[in-house]
Amino acid sequence: MAASSATSPAAQLLASKIAARTATVAVVGMGYVGMPLAVTVADAGFAVLAVDIDDARVAAIARGESYIGDVPSARLGPLVESGKIRSTVRFRELQDADAIIICVPTPLNKTKEPDLSYVVSALREIKAYLRRGQLIILESTTYPGFTREVGLPMLEEVGYRCGDEFFLTFSPERTDPGNPRYDVSNTTKVLGGVTATCTEMGAALYRQVIETVHVVSSTDAAEMAKLLENTFRAVNIGLVNEVALMCNTLGIDTWEVIAAASTKPFGFMPFYPGPGLGGHCLPIDPLYLSWKLRSHNYTARFIELAQTINASMPGFVVQLAADTLNDHSRAVRGSRICIYGVAYKPNIDDVRESPALEIIELLHRKGANVVYTDPHVAEIEVEGRRYVGVTEAEARSSDLAIITTDHAAFDLVALARDGNLILDTRNATRRAAVPAEYLHKVVRL
């Protein structure tokens, strides 16, 4: 590391430990975000303390077993065996850490407002064991202002001065589960600190681990940058979902239109329609922003409109399913309908906020006999009902298959050949080059 401009003794000591990679880094929350981060930090040579409240997860890590798809046990195991990663449920061990990175969930509550209880609970534990010289980094997505308005006062209650005696930064996580090209180490990290020294400490740590660090002037700017990224996607998906609704009304093939527009070499970026927004980020993060703005008497109009359109898509898919069956003199009630793919995106096992679950619920309420097939998800629960996935061979005997997730492992040619009706919400049958002779069975979104 270049000579540090850090002035306080605590900052200088921390900077030297980071530069020598002798700092211990604690990762609090070992989920989709925390696990890949922990192995990346350990690979860079730092000792990592993996902290979680879930006993089963902590025990699995201690055995070197990963439960996160992007991190094979073959990668985690040797790091645990060599002592580079140690897992614990005891927050008191945070006293040993020089840096603490928070990766706990930030969902919405029942009334669709930010639920920051996990972050606040993690901060409370960190505060209880805060010692001079520690660097605290929040990676969980939150609204602009949270780190400064909530995190800072909580930690300052201990009596240490932020920027001199402890350091606080926000650095949003950009994990894209299942992405074979970009992982933690080659995805640029945005970071903003409460003070210039906080920023310097946070950036110094990530520069040891990640190719590029992009520093911004405040934690607020870093928080807002994350929400811009995800709002950008949610709004553009909302726009293209509305285009799909318009094309459906006009009898035009949405996918053909997008493919044509995409030939423009400038000023157009393709987004694709689907059965609705899923995952832990896109359906949730923009609502953190609109919630915060409501307290300033400002209505985040794009976010609310996109939210309304995206949220209407599962219902639209069910309507299309009903119309498709109706065109073949069948009712939804009593039909066997198979959902192809319940994960919210291809080739992963995460079903959080997946629109497929809402589609299953809506079809169930209409009296359909709903089954699902998904090579990545063995079983799911929808409104208290447990579903065990059927095999693709079993799925093909359904009256209607609804392709909700375009998993690479699906054999859609076999489905088109041996199956009955298909409602394709992902243009997957075209990508799979289903032969023309079977296309009369296929309806696209």
Ligand X SMILES: NC(=O)c1ccc[n+]([C@@H]2O[C@H](COP(=O)([O-])OP(=O)(O)OC[C@H]3O[C@@H](n4cnc5c(N)ncnc54)[C@H](O)[C@@H]3O)[C@@H](O)[C@H]2O)c1
Closest by CA position to 351, among listed 382, 321, 320, 317: 382
What is the nearest approach in angstroms of ligand X to the Cβ of residue 185?
Answer: 15
Kindly tell me which residue out of 33, 85, 363, 412 binds ligand X, with binding defined by CB under 6 A: 33
- The least distance separating ligand X from the CB of residue 123, rounded to whole angstroms, comes to 9
409 SS3 class: coil
Place of tokens 């061990």: 93
Judged by CB under 6 A, does residue 105 bind ligand X?
yes
Using CB under 6 A, which of 87, 134, 141, 420 touches ligand X?
141
HEC letters along 255-310: HHHHHHHCCCCCCCCCCCCCCCCCCCCCCCHHHHHHHHHHCCCCCCHHHHHHHHHH
Least separation in angstroms between residue 183's CB and ligand X is: 12
Residue 121 touches ligand X, criterion: CB under 6 A: yes
Question: Of 286, 277, 240, nearest to 261 (Cα)?
Answer: 240
**Dist CA 28 CA 37 (whole Å):** 11
Q: Which of residues 188-227 bind ligand X (CB under 6 A)?
A: none
| Least distance (Å) between residue 67 CB and ligand X | 9
Selected binder of ligand X within 40, 66, 87, 140 (CB under 6 A): 140
By beta carbon distance, the residue nearest ligand X is 31
What distance in Å separates the CA atoms of residue 426 and residue 445, rounded to the nearest whole number? 7
Residue with token string 């009630």: 333
Query: For the stretch 350-375, what's the b/e string if a residue is b when 16 or more beta carbons lie within 10 angstroms of its beta carbon?
Result: bbbbbbbbbbbbbbbebebebbbbbb
- Ranges within 47-86 binding ligand X (CB under 6 A): 51-54, 57
Q: Does 377 bind ligand X (CB under 6 A)?
A: no
- Interface with ligand X includes 136 (CB under 6 A)? no
As a whole number of angstroms, the distance between CA 243 and CA 260 comes to 14
34: contact with ligand X by CB under 6 A: yes
Please pick, from the candidates 6, 14, 23, 28, the single residue that binds ligand X as defined by CB under 6 A: 28
Residue 184 lies near ligand X (rule: CB under 6 A): no
For ligand X, the closer CB: 146 or 316? 146
The distance of closest approach from Cβ of residue 38 to ligand X in the complex, given in angstroms and rounded to an integer, is: 11
Does residue number 173 form part of the binding site for ligand X (CB under 6 A)?
yes
CB of 57 to ligand X, least distance (A): 5
338 is catalytic: no
Dist. CA 335–CA 134, nearest whole Å: 60
Give the residue carrying structure tokens 């998993």: 407
Query: Six-digit token pair at 289?
Result: 């922003």
- Cβ proximity to ligand X, 28 vs 371, nearer residue: 28
Contacts of residues 109-115 at CB distance under 8 Å and 24 or more positions apart, as own/partner, are 112/287, 113/287, 113/291, 114/142, 114/143, 114/287, 114/288, 114/291
Q: Which of 23, 27, 32, 307 binds ligand X (CB under 6 A)?
A: 32
Q: Is 354 in the site for ligand X (CB under 6 A)?
A: no
Tell me the β-bridge partners of 340.
Answer: 373, 403
Under the binding rule (CB under 6 A), the answer on residue 103 touching ligand X is yes
Contact flag: residue 396 with ligand X (CB under 6 A): no
Chain residues in the site for ligand X (CB under 6 A): 28-34, 51-54, 57, 103-106, 118, 121-122, 140-141, 173-175, 177, 280-281
Residues classed as catalytic? 281
